[in-house]
Structure 1
Amino acid sequence: MTDAVLLLLLFLAAMLYTSVGHAGASGYLAAMALVGLAPETMRPAALVLNVFVATLASVRYVRAGRFSWRLFWPLALAAAPMAFVGGAVQLPSQLFRALVGVALLLAAWRLWLAPKTLPDGDTKPLDEVHPPPLPVAILCGAAIGLVAGLTGTGGGIYLSPIIVLSGWASLRTTAGVSVLFILVNSLAGLAGLATKAIEWPPLLPVWIVVVLVGGWIGSELGARRLATPKLRRLLAVVLVIAALKLLLT
């Protein structure tokens, strides 16, 4: 029963997150927390799922024309080495749970309270991109990369609101940039984790298949159609419950 619940939660996380240009790591972490997985298993598993889903979503967003290389490259160049450093750091269990709990609350805030930073529609042309000054992009990318590596996420929940609220790109272009940024960070974080022994869950191959199906559906919604705000808010509630479990137990 627990395995079936986890599979359903992973599927929903992948579908809903890819619809807004994310790969779902915070959702996967929430699902694993709810079923009681150990922290040393959660971080590498979430990153692996992120890599597969972000790869799929990146291809779909780029093909749909929802991407800007000018905005992407300085952010990713600064983030990748810091994500590697964060991934290589072995955090105490309680500190890891606290960091992930805070990350889940931030993700829930994005999904529930900030609908204008999600791609329900664009008010700017797709090609209207205003990249930040290079020092700003490098500082932003490095900070997000470090947090992403430490928590086992791709950093998209931090990057996409910054892009939109700063006016650097349109909503759907933000989604495309964010998902490729997540892929780079997830790979770098995994490389950092690989410097130490990794404990893999036995059902990880099944999880990969499930999130790929969810990611295919979600990225289609995000790249070409509209995502569903009500479902996002439902996911936000799940994230809050998981965050409280991590923070209070």
Structure 2
Amino acid sequence: MITLVLAASVLIGVSLGILGGGGSILTVPILIYLAGQDSKEAIATSLFVVGVTSLVGLIPHARAHRVRWRTGLIFGSVSMIGAYGGGRLAEYIPGTVLLVAFALMMLATAVAMLRKGAGRKKAGHKAPHAEMPVKLVVTEGLIVGAVTGLVGSGGGFLVVPALALLGGLPMSIAVGTSLLVIAMKSFSGLAGHLSGVQIDWGLALTVTAAAVVGSLIGSRFAGRIPQNTLRKAFGWFVVVMGVFVLGQQLPTAVWTSPAAWIGAALAAAVAASWTLAGRHRTRDDAAATPETTRELSTRS
């Protein structure tokens, strides 16, 4: 069993290194179903594993200049405040409602990632070393932190799209910067859990060591994967995890209902048509660019 735990732990690190997310949502099930921990101990342990793994995985991204330090530090600091407020609010909302809402938000985020082309805006990406405006970073940090506090996980799944889609950062830089934010939030959350939970430090360190190896492997691949491919991989990974969370939370009667399958098929059709429409617009814009250039040069 320990071999299976270690193999799965490597995948945690690979996910964080390549995608900048997926750590907590993978670590908790591994610790519960493979290592036999209870839910509270698994959550606390996962915060330690993900925090250390993200911090180590941050190093190769930083060396490759794929981290926006000011953006990450401000985002992480503000998201801690939002996470605290979200955690307090979560006491008054049923857990199933929170997780279902989180899963739906993950699916919406995935559609946006698959459609918008690595978070590109019409004006293009920011300069490679430009930082995001402070007001935008603070606003996004508060919102992402509040949602993370509400559902108790999902840091990277929210941070990466916020940096890429709303902030206009290239995916590789959004991934590197998200590791800084995740590390900050994980250690902050761990500090809150340690007062009431005992951690099996032997298991925690073993899982962390395997995850660190995976993160170093993943971060090396992250810089070599094309931006469009990285974005699609992240988007589809979020789709899979969102469907998994929904499957765990919704009752069996919902999934066996014909209406649910018809609704899912319609939603998939709409998402597919939306994505294809975005691709056609991108191709049309690309095709028009050379013509526009020739026309301008002719006029001049």
**How far apart, in 2, do the equivalents of 1:191 and 1:236 lie?**
31
The higher radius of gyration belongs to: 2
Instruction: Label 1:246 to 1:140 Cα distance change in 2 as closer, same or farther (>3 A).
Output: same
Aligned residue number for residue 6 of structure 2: 7
TM-score, normalised with respect to structure 1: 0.75
Aligned residue number for residue 173 of structure 2: 173
**How far apart, in 2, do the equivalents of 1:246 and 1:33 lie?**
17
Is the CA contact (8 Å cut-off) linking 2:57 and 2:179 kept in structure 1?
A: yes
Instruction: Label 1:145 to 1:155 Cα distance change in 2 as closer, same or farther (>3 A).
Output: same
**How far apart, in 2, do the equivalents of 1:56 and 1:142 lie?**
25
Superposition RMSD on alpha carbons, in Å? Answer: 3.8
Is the CA contact (8 Å cut-off) linking 1:117 and 1:160 kept in structure 2?
A: no
**How far apart, in 2, do the equivalents of 1:146 and 1:174 lie?**
20
Instruction: Label 1:241 to 1:170 Cα distance change in 2 as closer, same or farther (>3 A).
Output: closer
1:241 aligns with 2:229: no
Relative contact order (alpha carbons < 8 A, sep ≥ 6): 1 or 2 greater?
A: 1
Aligned residue number for residue 19 of structure 2: 20
Instruction: Label 1:165 to 1:15 Cα distance change in 2 as closer, same or farther (>3 A).
Output: same
Is the CA contact (8 Å cut-off) linking 2:113 and 2:235 kept in structure 1?
A: no
**How far apart, in 2, do the equivalents of 1:4 and 1:112 lie?**
36
**How far apart, in 1, do the equivalents of 2:203 and 2:110 lie?**
28
**How far apart, in 1, do the equivalents of 2:105 and 2:169 lie?**
21
Instruction: Label 1:77 to 1:9 Cα distance change in 2 as closer, same or farther (>3 A).
Output: same
Q: How does 1:81-100 map to 2 (within 5 A)?
A: 81-84=81-84, 95-96=94-95, 99=98
The structure with more helix, counted as a fraction of residues: 2
Deviations 1:184-230 (A, max 9, x none): 11111112223x31132462222111111111111111134457767
Q: Structure 1 residue 54: deviation in Å?
A: 0.8
- Which stretches in structure 2 are left out of the alignment for 5+ residues? 253-300
Aligned residue number for residue 77 of structure 2: 77
Aligned residue number for residue 58 of structure 1: 58
Aligned residue number for residue 217 of structure 1: 217
**How far apart, in 1, do the equivalents of 2:210 and 2:55 lie?**
15
**How far apart, in 2, do the equivalents of 1:64 and 1:192 lie?**
33
**How far apart, in 1, do the equivalents of 2:14 and 2:206 lie?**
16
Q: Structure 1 residue 52: deviation in Å?
A: 1.0
The residue type equivalent to 1:47 in the other structure is L
Q: Identify which range, 100-109 or 218-227, moves more after superposition.
A: 100-109
Instruction: Label 1:77 to 1:167 Cα distance change in 2 as closer, same or farther (>3 A).
Output: closer
Q: How does 1:15-164 map to 2 (within 5 A)?
A: 15-22=14-21, 24-32=23-31, 34-35=33-34, 37-84=37-84, 95-96=94-95, 99=98, 103=102, 114-115=113-114, 116-117=117-118, 124=125, 127=128, 129=130, 131-132=132-133, 134=135, 136-153=136-153, 155-164=155-164
- Which stretches in structure 1 are left out of the alignment for 5+ residues? none
Instruction: Label 1:193 to 1:181 Cα distance change in 2 as closer, same or farther (>3 A).
Output: same
The residue type equivalent to 2:244 in the other structure is I
Is the CA contact (8 Å cut-off) linking 1:149 and 1:185 kept in structure 2?
A: no
**How far apart, in 2, do the equivalents of 1:23 and 1:98 lie?**
21
The residue type equivalent to 1:245 in the other structure is Q
TM-score, normalised with respect to structure 2: 0.64
